Structure 1
Amino acid sequence: MRKIINIAIVSLVSFLSLQCSDERFDVLPNDQDSPSNIFTSESNFRVVMDGTYDAFKSPTYYNGDTGSSIILGDVLADNLILNTQGRQTNKSAYEWSYTPQTSAVTALYTSAYKVISRANNILVNINKVPYTDYMKNIEGEAKAVRAIAHFDLVRAYAKIPTQSSDASSSLGIAYVTAFDPEIKPARDASVTVTYDKIIADLQDALAKINTSNSTVGRLNKTSVLGILSRVYLYKGEYDKAVQYGEQCIAASSSVGTNTNFVNIWRDATDDGELFTILNSNLGSDNVTVGVAYNQNSSGIRPEYNVNYDLFTKYGTSDIRKEAYILTANFGSTPYNNVIKYRSRAGSSAAQVVDVKFLRAAEVYLNVAEAYMKSSAPDQARALALLNTLRMQRYTSYTPGTETGTALLNAVYNERRLELAFENDRFWTIKRLGQSVVRSDYGSAANGGGTDVPAGALKTLPAGNFRFVLPIPQDAINLNPNLVQNPGY
């Protein structure tokens, strides 16, 4: 599996401090080859751990224009529409015409295992120095990262436990815990086995990781609690999603205030962020995470635009409309453009912003949904959580009073509006066992245009085999122990 776990062991790079106006951007990239004696001190382990976080910015995880997770969960679903004036990136994903050779949906596979290999490199060498509280925290961070990357893999390349009656017993993914380029692991016997391994890593991380790790660019106890709420929601263990989500909310309650919300997406505040993939202003970093959506070329040249059906769901009093969307011309035609990743305040570097991997707003939504589905439903608490979020998104908001099905649908609706363009939509549709149904609008700002989805581009029926993405063929060629997903 040499190519799948292509390990570039991270280096010390430099311990010299850089002069920068904002400490958060002083994080050096840590993705170079390392000396053989790197695992000799606690400070060296910290550099390697930060290099593991850097791997999330590798091409095709949260970087690049084809196959990047920054767009994958939305382009597969109903939040976006392909603009034919763009470069046609990720077109096979948008058309649901992907194969095991298509980088638009297979790219995550290799990128996630790269993250996993770096985490495993730390874990297999953890005994090289005394096991102090410092190293206990490093181990916790590495196990949490390993779990996160495996979770991203299993929700893409296997079924989600809640999507169908046979999902839990269907084939899982290869859960890799060894640092060995020659390893050829088989896939787990079931999705349940994979989820149990993810949870075991997260629970171990929760016990060992620091309460605070000095920056939103490093995982800590609060962010691990939030990730657990996400994983348990997907697994359908709603009582556990409530348990860990409520602990997360108690530790970090702000969903991002209305006055701060636009600035969250301009990297001018961390309000409501629980785990962020930092993207420094260094010349050797500057990862253009937003290029999958659009580029600056005589205005905004869109690859994909906001589906007009979604656009109309953002009311005029919704601060997310200003934060997420900009209506601007390309040529003579106005389009509704995604600007979540367009620019950082005070920087001229286009598409270079931090990736908000986990925000408290998602945890509120996770817990609200889980309360509605738990063994002891608590509609009052679900409504209170939903209203807390809505109070910070709408001007002069009057608290909602929904109950029952209307309340659950309100949670789903708010989830779509809040987490649009954050790699959530397709996976939510998938875990709910629903169909993707695209609107009849074109890409223009008013929903006009000739590029209206039709036929095979209009609906992906619930249960269709394409909800489970194909394992890359080159991975199977290198590792015959892997089994391709049905239908490919």
Structure 2
Amino acid sequence: MKKIINISVLSLVSFFSLQCSDERFDVLPNDKDSPENIFTSESNFRVALDGAYDGFKGDSSSNPNGVTYYNGDTGSSIILGDVLADNLILNTQGRQTNKAAYEWSYNPQTSAVTALYSSAYLVISRVNNVLDNLHKVPYTSFMKNIEAEAKAIRAIAHFDLVRAYAKIPTQSSDAAASLGIAYVTTFDPQVKPTRDTSVTITYDKIIADLQDALTKINTTNGTIGRLNKTSVLGFLSRVYLYKGDYVKATQYGEQCIAISPSVGEASNFVKIWRDDSNDGKLFTILNANLAYDNVTVGVAYNQNSSGIRSEYNVNFDLFTKYTNSDVRKEAYVLTANYGATPYNHVIKYRSRAGSSAGQVVDVKFLRSAEIYLNVAEAYMKSSASNPVRALQLLNILRAQRYGTVASPYVPGTETGTVLVDAILNERRLELAFENDRFWTIKRLGQSVVRSDFGSSVNGGGGDAPTGALKTLPANNFRFVLPIPQDAINLNPNLVQNPGY
């Protein structure tokens, strides 16, 4: 941990400004000044906190490993939740990136599987540096909002860590009492924190930060690149769903939906993924197409090289689940040749409208569509069951994915377990390639079962997963990622996860 936090100390060495005329890029990547000089004005607190947002994106200057949450072709969170699961298949014509994750062969020494551990704690250290210095200026309404944003960021980063490096409470009967993660709440490079004694404790700390943020944060904060009351409500819905508190998941999810009811209209849906519409977005990591901020988040999926050269293609089993009337098929997938072979390529992160920079788009961290699915599922599992509302929410989403003006969607009429299955199926289709699939399988206590299809356009090819690559049994120890060994070397108080 000491090394991880020291990275953040180095990242606070000098300010620099990034200006852009487009309103979507008003969040400035200004996180670099000496700590002694930063915290003297409200405007400097804003700049420092925007630097914490930038930590979700990052580049090689803010992380010596060159890989952060959503940067780099190996270890990026933008692909992790799908490559570990059954939505993708390794393309042998690609560069074999993320192969250890795909093969479930990761170990504490395999730093290439994901940079999430160091990346998340970098973000956390930045917000803690802000929170530790709040006392240096008057506690105005502006600073109250700064505190709220910082606590929400801290909660989000810890949540990403705990679902990856610990069990999920709903995963198994022993999960809630199993080991949590180190929840860091102060900026001190000398501290060697221990892991929480239970996952429940970690989730309670995440919720406490989000709840405190909810009472203080602004209704809006000027851009989808900053958190606000609506997005915090959405994150509370997500966290409570994972915790298994379905009453709270519906409560906060419904409040979020009431404020932001659009799931992304069909007419805007393709535009959302080309950064030409903000419809249905709750929180986005902005990625300005400029020299510093030009982060190629989509490179983990494919590159432009005499066509589209994909590292991973859409698993044909998933591809066939998208009907021709489904607008997501156009938004998410492009069928095109690489060389002489046609493939189904993931294009969610391929390009921004009006830009020639390949793989450079904003990261859609949280969307209203997910909240609809969270609430619908929670209603079916809650002690305050409401299957009528669950079906209504599901149909609202489906109407914007399958319906057209000429041929409106005919609402479904599912009930019981068939309705639950329909909600989960829609979740897979909606959130494919958004770092959700593996974690959903994990929280449901299910196995990853990959299909027998190969990577080519109709599921052919000799690269179909077999043997140990075919199935990851439910509750296998590899559903919990290993704590990186270099972190344990620097902080012996950290305990490695079982099996490693």
- Report the counterpart of residue 50 of structure 1 in structure 2: 50
Q: Which string of whole-angstrom CA distances, capped at 9 and with x for unpartnered residues, describes residues 26-81 of structure 1?
A: 44322434462110000000001111000000223111111111000000000000
User: What one-letter code is carried by the residue in structure 2 that aligns with 1:295?
Assistant: Q
CA contact (8 A) 2:316 2:457 kept: yes
Moved more, 431-440 or 52-61: 52-61
Partner of 2:64: none
Q: Provide the rounded CA distance (Å) in 2 between the counterparts of 1:277 and 1:18.
A: 17
Residue in structure 2 matched with residue 464 of structure 1 by the alignment: 476
Paired with 1:9 and 1:304, the residues of 2 have a C-alpha distance of 33
| Pairing 1:401–2:413 present | yes
- Runs of 5+ in structure 1 lacking a partner? none
Q: TM-score, normalised by structure 1?
A: 0.98
SS at match of 2:497: coil
Number of matched residues?
Answer: 486
Counterpart of 1:198?
206
Indicate the residue corresponding to 1:417 in structure 2.
429
Greater Cα shift, 364-373 or 27-36: 27-36
Go from structure 1 to structure 2 and tell me whether the alpha carbon gap of 1:203 and 1:19 turns closer, same or farther (over 3 Å shift): closer
Q: Which of these residues, 381, 385, 389, is aligned with residue 381 of structure 1?
A: 389
Q: Could you tell me which of 306, 310, 317 is aligned with 2:318?
A: 310
2:159 equivalent in structure 1: 151
1:184–1:18 CA distance, 2 compared to 1 (3 A): closer
1:11 CA displacement? 6.7
Superposition CA RMSD, Å: 1.2
State the one-letter code of the partner of 1:243: Q
Residue 291 of structure 2 corresponds to which residue in structure 1? 283
Equivalent residues in 2 for 1:85-484, closer than 5 Å? 85-395=93-403, 396-484=408-496
Distance 2:111 2:162 in 1: 17
Shifted more, 344-353 versus 100-109: the winner is 100-109
SS of residue in 2 equivalent to 1:96:
coil
C-alpha contact 1:249 1:360 (8 A) present in aligned 2? yes
The whole-number CA distance in structure 2 between the counterparts of 1:293 and 1:208 is 38
CA deviation string 1:441-488 (max 9, x = no partner) = 000011000001000000000010000000000000000000000000
1:158-185 Cα offsets, whole Å, 9 max, x none, are 0000000000000000000010111100
Residues 152/136 of structure 1: CA separation in 2 closer, same or farther (3 Å cut):
same
CA offset digits 1:88-118 (Å, max 9, x no partner): 1000000001000112334210000000000
C-alpha separation between the residues in 1 aligned to 2:112 and 2:269? 31
SS of the equivalent of 1:37 reads: helix
**What is the DSSP-based 3-state SS (H/G/I as helix, E as strand, rest coil) of the residue aligned with 1:346?**
coil
Stretch moving more, 203-212 or 101-110: 101-110
CA distance in 2, matches of 1:105, 1:143: 28
Q: Secondary structure at 2:402's aligned position in 1?
A: coil
* 8 A Cα contact 1:66 1:103, kept in partner: no
Query: Percent identity of the aligned residues?
Result: 80
Q: Write the distance in 2 (CA, Å) between the matches of 1:245 and 1:428.
A: 17
- 2:176–2:199 contact (8 Å) kept in structure 1: yes
Contact kept, 8 Å, 1:122 with 1:142, in 2: the verdict is yes
SS class of match (1:192): helix
C-alpha distance in structure 2 between counterparts of 1:209 and 1:283, whole Å: 32
Shift, 1:281, TM fit = 1.6
Separation in 2, partners of 1:19, 1:274: 22
Q: Which secondary structure state, in structure 2, belongs to the residue aligned with residue 105 of structure 1?
A: coil
With normalisation by structure 2, the TM-score equals 0.96
Partner AA of 1:398 in structure 2: V
In structure 2, the residue matched to 1:76 is 84
1:392 aligned counterpart, secondary structure: helix
Amino acid corresponding to residue 223 of structure 2 in structure 1:
T
User: How far did 1:2 drift?
Assistant: 2.0
The 1:11/1:391 distance shift into structure 2, 3 A limit, reads: farther
For residue 206 of structure 1, report the CA deviation from its aligned partner.
0.4
Q: Determine the C-alpha separation between the residues in 2 that align with 1:424 and 1:19.
A: 32
Looking at structure 2, the residues matched to 247 and 153 of structure 1 have their Cα atoms a distance apart, in angstroms, of 26
Per-residue deviation at 1:14?
5.0
Alpha-carbon separation, structure 1, partners of 2:131 and 2:35: 18
Distance, in Å, in 1 between the alignment partners of 2:447 and 2:265 is 33
Give the aligned residue type for 1:175.
Y
How far, CA to CA, are the matches of 1:49 and 1:320 in structure 2?
A: 34
- 8 Å CA contact 1:106, 1:470 repeated in 2: no
Deviation at 1:12, TM superposition (A): 7.2
1:92 maps to amino acid: A
Aligned to 1:25: 25
Quote how far apart the aligned CAs of 1:18 are.
3.5
SS of residue paired to 1:36: helix
CA distance in structure 1 between the aligned counterparts of 2:20 and 2:76, rounded to whole angstroms: 31
Amino acid of the structure 2 residue aligned with 1:485: N
Alignment of 1:53-64 (within 5 A): 53-58=53-58, 59-64=67-72
Partner of 1:13: 15
- Matches of 2:14 and 2:39 in 1, distance apart? 10
Contact 2:74/2:97 (8 A) holds in 1: yes
Closer, same or farther: CA 19–204 of 1 in aligned 2, 3 Å: closer
User: For structure 1, which segment, 255-264 or 33-42, has the greater mean C-alpha deviation from structure 2 after superposition?
Assistant: 33-42
Residues 155 and 367 of structure 1, relative CA distance in 2, 3 Å threshold: same
